[in-house]
Structure 1
Amino acid sequence: MPRQAKSKHTKGRENPGTQKSPRAIESKAQVEVAEEAIRLRAYEIYLARSGAPGDPVADWLQAEQELRTRQKSS
């Protein structure tokens, strides 16, 4: 049976240059939470139209603006 060539890379090790700092991971989580909040608010705006035609992008932008305004006043 032929031998398999040894890999130059060690399994399970990350390249030190690709590790993320705790702050980067934390801010990414905050962005995801904000995006989910925007998504939920945009859906609420859609439901409030009761099936009337509308623009999903406008709903998203309105939701984003409302949540940013609410966040600034907190």
Structure 2
Amino acid sequence: MRNRLRELRSARGWTQEELGRRLGVSRQAVIALETDKHDPSLDLAYRIAALFGEPVEAIFENPHAAG
């Protein structure tokens, strides 16, 4: 699932490790999310959206969206 996680993290000057700490996940999990090797759970996607103050849809591409 494509996402804007790296862009949002970089804009705040956070390292992958710092983002992981803020989300309660490992740096490796952040890497997997940023490189589209792993899709977040629904809970994690909502925590990410809350942390960045954006709706989930503004961060993660919906692979099932029409068009």
Fold shared by both chains (TM-score > 0.5): no
Larger Rg: 1
Higher helix share: 1
Q: TM-score, normalised by structure 1?
A: 0.29
